[in-house]
């Protein structure tokens, strides 16, 4: 059973601080890794994608991938109240299969 695990939270972070979200996956052969943000009552939207080990930065967001440890994380710098949402980690275990394996999501609350 291929699994993706996240801490459900809620994770409470003061405004302006760094929010750190973590995700582990079970399939060592996984190829692609994604972070989606979902506001309450809305559909998910892609925040970051990462395909190789190391860090990938996009504005205030940094995705980190460590395939040896089967671990992917998302850092949000200078957290804003508008970042309050549920963050979903998704993993594609195979380049030949378009289906993603989803984590349950971490609820992030940014306190003003």
Partner 1 sequence: GAVVSQHPSRVICKSGTSVKIECRSLDFQATTMFWYRQFPKQSLMLMATSNEGSKATYEQGVEKDKFLINHASLTLSTLTVTSAHPEDSSFYICSATQSGNAYTGELFFGEGSRLTVL
For residue 68, what are the CA distances in angstroms to 37, 65, 90? Answer: 25, 9, 18
Nearer to partner 1, 26 or 32 (CB): 32
Residue recorded with tokens 């594609």: 92
The single residue among 25, 34, 35, 87 that binds partner 1, judged by CB under 8 A, is 34
Nearer to partner 1, 14 or 67 (CB): 67
Helical (H) or strand (E) element with 90: strand 85-92
Q: Which element (helix H / strand E) includes 48?
A: strand 45-50
Closest to partner 1 by CB, 45 vs 57, is 45
Minimum CB distance to partner 1 smaller for 15 or for 58: 58
Q: Is 104 in the site for partner 1 (CB under 8 A)?
A: yes
- Helix, strand or coil for residue 79? coil
Q: Helix, strand, or coil here: 55?
A: strand
Q: What is the DSSP letter of 39?
A: -
Shortest separation between residue 86's beta carbon and partner 1, angstroms: 9
Q: Does residue 98 bind partner 1 (CB under 8 A)?
A: yes
**Site residues (CB under 8 A) for partner 1?**
31-32, 34, 41-46, 49, 51, 88, 90, 92, 95, 98-100, 102-105
């Amino acid at each position: 059973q291929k699994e993706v695990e996240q801490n459900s939270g809620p994770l409470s972070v003061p405004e302006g601080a760094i929010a750190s979200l973590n995700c582990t996956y079970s399939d060592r052969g996984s190829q692609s890794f994604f972070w989606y943000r979902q506001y309450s009552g809305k559909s998910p939207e892609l925040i970051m994608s990462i395909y190789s080990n190391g860090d990938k930065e996009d504005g205030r967001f940094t995705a980190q991938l460590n395939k040896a440890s089967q671990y992917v994380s998302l850092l949000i710098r200078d957290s804003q109240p508008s970042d309050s949402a549920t963050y979903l980690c998704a993993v594609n275990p195979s380049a030949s299969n378009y289906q993603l394996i989803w984590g349950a999501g971490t609820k992030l609350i940014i306190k003003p």
